[in-house]
Amino acid sequence: MQDILASLYEEKKHVNVDCTSSLRTADDSRDVIHRLRNQQKPDICYITPEKLRESNAMQDILAQLYEDEQIACFLIDEAHVTQPGGIFAML
């Protein structure tokens, strides 16, 4: 994931991207949550399934962003944690 973030963040691409996962520090996670609550949200925010499962704050923010129609796309790029039929399994 880090290589994708670095590629998107390059000045030439001008993509405001952020990431939160269980590998990031608590301060990093708080920064991402703060950015998602502010006016200037990242264009893309990568959130790992385990981080989403572990963080009630992240779940609440995503629910609010969805209700406010501020999420254009929600993609789960973790095929190894899906069940047959495409059902996402929070393992």
> Of all helices (H) and strands (E), which one includes residue 63?
helix 56-67
Taking only the tens place, the pLDDT of each residue in 5-27 is 667 666 556 677 788 877 788 89
User: Domain of 29?
Assistant: 2-81
Within a domain: 35: yes
Within a domain: 89: no
Taking only the tens place, the pLDDT of each residue in 49-73 is 888 888 888 889 888 988 988 887 7
Instruction: List beta partners, residue 10.
Output: none
**Three-state SS for 28?**
helix
Which has the closest alpha carbon to 4: 55, 15, 49, 23?
15
Cα–Cα separations (whole angstroms), residue 25 to 3, 30, 36, 59, 86 = 18, 9, 17, 18, 31
Within a domain: 86: no
Domain count, the chain: 1
